[in-house]
Structure 1
Amino acid sequence: MTAKQIDFDAYQQDFAYCEAIIKKHSKNFHTAFSQLPKDKARAVYAVYAFCRRADDAVDEYQDPELLAQMAQQLDVLKQAPSDQARLALYSYDSDPDHRIWRALALTFIQFDLDYQPFFDLLTGQAQDLSFEQPVTEADLATYSYYVAGSVGLMLLPILSSHAKEIQEPAKKLGEAMQRTNILRDIGEDLRMNRVYLPKETMLAFNLTQDDLSLGNQLDSFIDLWEYEARIAESLYEASFEMMPLIDQDCRESLMAAALIYKEILHVIRKQHYQVIHHKQVVPKQRKLQLLFTAKKMLRQTDLEVN
């Protein structure tokens, strides 16, 4: 079976199941990537569903065996001798796992995805099962690659015919998004006895774990938060260099995804750094505005190039 022979419509229920997962767990990503051409959007949904399944194995089930099973299934998919054999691995039934893996198998075939980033994500998720606070910013960057930069590499073949040429900015975008998650979820992570802010950085700002729970009551907390936010924002900016090599029909969606995620930082600032007891979100109307902003930014870039 070649990529041209695959009819994603024949597997609509599988992709719809994956889309329901991204709509439930990441309205930011769904808002952006739903603007993609139909089959590319479906492929993104399948990749997201895989990532969400791995995340649930850790945060919901605390189950290393489930992660190991996912790695084993991924290896079986990789070692299958043909595209037909890959699809034959999953009988056509309504089992939720089969729906995700069948959609993912179709996506690997259609877009020739690289398997390694998928294995890397599972490695990163396993680190959270035996969580240790990062010591340095370099440690945090490494962790961020495994749990988020890897996702950027997963998606590249869907979004670009020049995937091999823009791996570094794609990893930077993933890291920027992960650092944004960390700054948004400080309170939630504290309640799970996790601190993702590096020990050396906290020491530099004279903050202890107990201090973190006071949040924006401390100027030093705000100073540390802004220090980390500026790192994230610089990574967003650096990632935008890949946009000219993203396929024309994907640029607006990817730019919108980046802008919507980056906006989380602005929302937190507007809400006076309330991240201990509140999870800040980007309002729906603002997301729609950012879709238009993405169009405008890309149009301006095209004018400058021409």
Structure 2
Amino acid sequence: MSHDPLLAHAERSIAVGSKSFAAAARLFDANTRRSAMLLYAWCRHCDDVIDGQQAGHEASVQAPALALQCLLELQVQTDAACRGAPVEQPAFAALREVARQHGIARQEAFDLLAGFAQDVAGEHYRSLDETLGYCYHVAGVVGLMMARVMGVRDPAVLDRACDLGLAMQLTNIARDIVADARVGRCYLPEQWLEELAIPRDRLTDKRYRRRLAQLAQRLVDHAEPYYLSAQAGLPALPWRSAWAVATAALVYRQIGLKVRKAGADAWDGRLSTSKWEKLCAVAGGLWRALSCRLRRYPVRDPGLWARPHSTPAAARHDAPATVPADGR
């Protein structure tokens, strides 16, 4: 039995919540792996609380008042963790340690919660840029925090880490269109739905599957330049971190390719990668990690969606207000 209760809690969380992340996390050196898993445990806990689920499975529709109360409690406990104050649950103790050790800013932690607040509010996304704004909150900022755990401080490299989070979330949205619709959520741009005459409240109806497949392919196609951009951040990472990140990117990208290939059948079951495919990704990630310093990467495409820089979350138009710094 582990003598490290926080790590044991995180390991249980990741074992059930994300086999893809679990496969990549094993490749980190021991210290980085521990911090990455602690950060993951907090992210997983917050996601589960908002979705009324266990370890990423069986999301349910929560009453608005209950969902809002859950969000407020997450904000209070996250604020306490970022201030180094006492907390009540292992997930927040994990965040407190990681924030202190790696300089995770309160703003970035609350940027993640702002994404969950968008879910609680049932926000709609008119354009792809608005969808990407949501992707930043629930995944791009996770890429930033994970990069800090790996020792990254260069803003240009942090941009690339954010790009990987955006790519992964676009992949997730494509894979989970129907599952999300079952709990009343839609992250597809409304402009896209209107173009193909798909009613927002009929996404689970099989008569629209072929049209949905076209939109899922568009999402997967839009993810590609973000995956490509993320590769340019690999040379700035310690080689084992580069290996882990490259492996995670390959695993998630493979899911997107499966969505594209499956077409209208993509939502007959939850698409994932096999053990063999994960092993291939591990080998491919190793090659990328070892060869990345020999390659020349282009400057980041200015046409890609850019993360917000140094703007307090509560002051940005896309971030809902949060609890005051004293947690009241």
TM-score class normalised by the smaller sequence? 0.7 to 0.9
| Aligned 1:128-143 pairs, distance under 5 A | 128-143=119-134
Q: Which residue of 2 aligns with 1:191?
A: 182
Change (3 A) 1:273 1:164: same
Higher mean displacement: 292-301 or 140-149:
292-301
Q: Do 2:81 and 2:93's aligned partners in 1 also have CA atoms closer than 8 Å?
A: no
Change (3 A) 1:136 1:13: same
Q: Which residue of 1 aligns with 2:76?
A: 72
Q: Which residue of 1 aligns with 2:238?
A: 247
- Deviation of 1:214 after TM superposition, in Å, equals 2.3
Distance between the aligned counterparts of 1:117 and 1:202, measured in 2? 31
Q: Which residue of 1 aligns with 2:26?
A: 34
User: TM-score by structure 2 length?
Assistant: 0.79
- Deviation of 1:137 after TM superposition, in Å, equals 0.7
- Does 2:49 match 1:49? no
Q: Do 1:216 and 1:272's aligned partners in 2 also have CA atoms closer than 8 Å?
A: no
Higher mean displacement: 255-264 or 58-67:
58-67
Q: Which residue of 2 aligns with 1:144?
A: 135
Q: Do 2:36 and 2:149's aligned partners in 1 also have CA atoms closer than 8 Å?
A: yes
Distance between the aligned counterparts of 1:273 and 1:140, measured in 2? 22
SS at 1:225's partner residue?
Answer: helix
The structure whose residues are more often helix, as a share, is 1
Q: Which residue of 1 aligns with 2:307?
A: none
User: TM-score by structure 1 length?
Assistant: 0.85
Could you tell me which runs of 5 or more consecutive residues in structure 1 were left unpaired when the two chains were aligned. Answer: 1-9, 81-85, 91-96
Q: Which residue of 2 aligns with 1:291?
A: 282
**Per-residue Cα deviation, 1:243-301 (whole angstroms, up to 9, x for no partner):** 11122231000110111011101222343442333111111110011100111123333
- Deviation of 1:229 after TM superposition, in Å, equals 1.0
Distance between the aligned counterparts of 1:217 and 1:121, measured in 2? 31
Distance between the aligned counterparts of 2:68 and 2:171, measured in 1? 26
Of 91, 101, 109, the residue aligned with 1:110 is 101
Of 257, 260, 281, the residue aligned with 2:251 is 260
Q: Percent same amino acid among aligned pairs?
A: 27
- Deviation of 1:57 after TM superposition, in Å, equals 1.8
- Does 2:18 match 1:14? no
Q: Which residue of 2 aligns with 1:83?
A: none
Distance between the aligned counterparts of 1:206 and 1:212, measured in 2? 14
SS at 1:166's partner residue?
Answer: helix
Runs of 4+ in 1 over 6 A off after TM superposition: none
Of 156, 170, 176, the residue aligned with 2:167 is 176
- Deviation of 1:147 after TM superposition, in Å, equals 0.9
**Per-residue Cα deviation, 1:161-205 (whole angstroms, up to 9, x for no partner):** 434342221211111111111100111112112221111012223
- Deviation of 1:35 after TM superposition, in Å, equals 1.2
Q: Which residue of 2 aligns with 1:7?
A: none
- Does 2:196 match 1:205? yes
Q: Do 2:27 and 2:240's aligned partners in 1 also have CA atoms closer than 8 Å?
A: no
Q: Which amino acid aligns with 1:45?
A: M
Q: Which residue of 2 aligns with 1:100?
A: 91
Could you tell me which runs of 5 or more consecutive residues in structure 2 were left unpaired when the two chains were aligned. Answer: 54-61, 297-328
Give the length in aligned residue pairs.
283
